[in-house]
Amino acid sequence: MCGIAGIIYRNGGGERQVGRDMTAMLQAMKHRGPDSTGFGLYRGTDDSYVMHVKLSEAVEEDADLEQRVQRQRDEIEARMRAAGADIQDIKGTHRTMAIVFGFDGDLKVLADAVERVRHTEVLSLGRSLEIVKDLGDAETVSDEYHLTDFKGTHAIGHARMATESDVDIANAHPYWAYPFPDVAVVHNGQLTNFHEWRRRLTRQGHRFQSDCDSEIIAVYLAEKMSQGKSLEEAMRDSLTELDGVFTYICVTEDALGVAKDMLGAKPLVLYEDDEVVALASEEIAIRQVLDREIETHDPYEGEVKVWSR
Amino acid sequence: MEPVSGEQVNEQPRMDERGLVELDDSIPKVAEIDGTKAQFDAKDMTTRKINAELRWLIYEQGIKDVTVLNPSARHSLGTAILARCRIRFEGSLGYFGCGLIDGPEIHITGRVGWSVAENMMSGVIVVDGNAGSLAGAALRGGDLVVRGDLGARTGIDQKGGTIITLGNAASMTGFMMQRGRQIICGDVGPGLGDSMYDGTIYVGGKVAALGIDCVPGDWTDADTELIGRKFSSYDLGEPPELQKFVCGKKLYNYDSLEPSERKLVL
């Protein structure tokens, strides 16, 4: 059934501990999806970009894995430098890289160059967005990637119960909207016309890294925005053009939006005031970050709402 | 009020042979009891512990009036209580709150998530805030009163009882309703009364669209009496002007008898 969550601090409230907030929200919804947990965290924007890269799946039976991953690291670094990236910092875990860099070229060309390194997937790319996803519950993933200290303005998260595709990192949410920087989506539901949209978007030059139906939402929205539509307009289009049952949260560098399908088939509870907007599949998640009596409501079918930071 | 001496709460989870956690169903016995009234703070208790405490108070201690503090939107609280008593939740409940009950009068001062009062047989549930989708699903009897708004599919498969909201209701309200009444003071979404078999839906605001075989009904004195009585019982003020909707029975291929009633007719 999956659990999704989002939080955005509004009106220039500055950076907060959104990593800690999202960990608590997703851990409270662990029962909705124990297979994998993903975070889309937005730091304050600066001049540099950050790219998160997956080097190997969570479970791989490759006797040469350690050496292979090291070769991938070296090759990615070399390709980025060759493409003109000014690499400022590299972090990561034994199967991921987080690369901070300066760049003034075409990001799609850079992402494609990195993904041509075998077994490599770019999880996120942007000035603000950082996607971290792995197997296990929220606290497990948060501990491994040291997310509780992450400060930023907004975040989304996903606790996954796999129904349509495999249990692995590639099929975990959030999804970055390749190749559009700083756009990501988490989704609860099933899309029944995703093959149709995937073929259509693939023909337009987009790549898909997973078999998960949710991946097309991110690319679909980003494609609409690249044609000049606002986030809200793109999300409204999705209500009629995407078929199935869904509640999804889409985030950009500055905004967070939510959309519910025309049947209202998937849950969402919303709290909003002048300082913060918090939303989740269950109210119990919102209460992890707002330690007071709050008044919440369920958005109705066909509703689209967007908030800015 | 003095706390009753309780069992020591075991903080370390028990594990079964497979290494899975065995749920601790011991009763906390932490409520402050005063005659037939009791109160306890659920803040640091699990769902299972809260329900175990409630059942212990009502069934074994003869308590008639329980207040639960800090329910904190947890799921499945106050379910399957089959006794006449009063329960007050100071705060909000999560999903499946107060389902499968028969007899209690329950007051929730916050909001409730999906499927409140599912399959209630008798009793009263009053919610001061909003309710999520599927409120009163398969309701058999009793009154569900929501002062805020309702989500989608309110009273789906309703077989009796009354659902009242002072606010709005979302799509497919009264879907496949078979008996009972709904009083929606605000607006309702599309698909009102879709495929309803019987029962009555009153709406005070705008109807986005009627569902299949849901049609306007003729207002009678019995409708006026019912509305007035319910609003008076729950101190809801003056009822708004309401429209009445019923089943058109164009798709009507079934009788409305319970199996036990059918035997009597035969």
Q: Residues B15-58: pLDDT tens digits?
A: 777 777 777 879 999 999 999 999 999 999 999 999 999 999 99
Least trusted range by pLDDT, from A37-51, A157-171, B203-217? A157-171
Residue B52 falls inside a structural domain: no
CA distance A100 to A127: 9
CA dist list (Å): A238 to A50, A87, A260: 29, 37, 10
Residues A76, A206 within the same domain: no
Nearest to B74 among A267, A284, A300 (CB): A284
Residues A171 and A200 in one domain: yes
pLDDT tens digit sequence for B184-198: 999 999 999 999 999
Interface of B with A in 81-100 (CB under 8 A): 91-92, 94-95
Query: What pLDDT shows up at residue B34?
Result: 97
Residue B211 lies in a domain: yes
User: What is the predicted ipTM?
Assistant: 0.88
Same domain, A71 and A91: yes
List the CATH number of the domain containing A175: 3.60.20.10
Handedness of CA B254, B259, B265, B266 (dihedral sign): positive
For chain A, give the percent of residues with pLDDT over 70.
Answer: 99
Domain count, chain B: 1
- Considering the domain boundaries, does residue B160 fall inside one? yes
**Per-residue pLDDT band at B220 (split at 50, 70, 90):** very high
Are residue A88 and residue A194 in the same domain, yes or no?
Answer: no
> Based on the domain organization, do A146 and A271 belong to the same domain?
yes
With respect to residue B179, please indicate whether it lies within any of the assigned structural domains.
yes
Can you give the pLDDT at residue B265? Answer: 62
Judge contact between B160 and B179, C-beta under 8 A.
yes
**Residue ranges making up the domain that contains A196:** 3-44+132-308
Which residue in chain B is spatially nearest to A297 when comparing CA positions? B130
Does residue B2 lie in a domain region?
A: no
**Is B110's CB within 8 Å of A287's CB?**
no
> B180: domain range?
130-250
Same domain, A18 and A120: no
- B132 touches A at CB < 8 Å: yes
Which amino acid makes up residue B156? Answer: I
Which residues on neighbouring strands pair with residue B14, listed in sequence order? Answer: B22
Closest-approach residue (CA) in chain A for B92: A293
Record the pTM: 0.90
Instruction: Give yes or no for residue B69 having a pLDDT over 80.
Output: yes
pLDDT digits (tens, 9 = 90+) for A180-210: 999 999 999 999 999 999 999 999 988 888 8
Give every CB contact of residue B150 below 8 A, 6+ residues apart in sequence.
Answer: B130, B131, B135, B163, B165, B167, B168, B169, B170, B173, B184
**Cα–Cα distance, A44 to B10 (Å, whole number):** 44
pLDDT at B136: 98
Of A121, A140, A119, A139, the residue nearest A131 (C-alpha): A121
Q: Which residues pair with A247 in a beta bridge?
A: A188, A260
How far apart are the C-alpha atoms of B256 and B253, rounded to whole Å?
10
| Residue B174 located in a structural domain | yes
A80: domain CATH number is 3.30.70.100
A212 is catalytic: no
Residues A30 and A58 in one domain: no
What is the arithmetic mean of pLDDT over A230-251? Answer: 96
Kindly report the CA angle at A165 between A164 and A171, in degrees rounded to 5? 120
Amino acid of residue A232: E
Domain stops at, among A58, A91, A126: A126
From the list B68, B6, B63, B60, the residue with the least C-alpha distance to B35 is: B63
As separate numbers, helices (DSSP H) first and strands (DSSP E) second, chain B gives 3, 17
Instruction: Mark which of A73, A106, A126 sits at the end of a domain.
Output: A126
* Angle at CA of residue A212, ends A208 and A214, nearest 5°: 90
What CA–CA distances, in Å, run from B102 to B47, B85, B126, B165?
A: 20, 10, 15, 21
Q: Do A297 and B75 touch (CB under 8 A)?
A: no
Q: Is B66 part of any domain?
A: no
What kind and span of H or E run contains A305?
Answer: strand A304-308
Q: Based on the domain organization, do A107 and A157 belong to the same domain?
A: no
Please name every residue paired with A131 in a beta bridge, in sequence order, or none if there are none. Answer: A40
CA-wise closest residue to B243 among B162, B159, B185, B181? B185
Mean pLDDT of B139-158: 97
For residues A207 and A109, membership in a common domain is answered with no
Find chain A residues with C-beta within 8 A of B148's C-beta.
297
User: Domain check: are A156 and A247 in the same one?
Assistant: yes
Are A162 and A172 in contact, with CB atoms under 8 Å apart?
Answer: no
What kind and span of H or E run contains B88?
A: strand B86-90
The verdict on residue B200 lying in a domain is yes
Number of domains in chain A: 2
Mark whether A182 and A275 lie in a shared domain.
Answer: yes
Domain shared by A160 and A51, yes or no: no
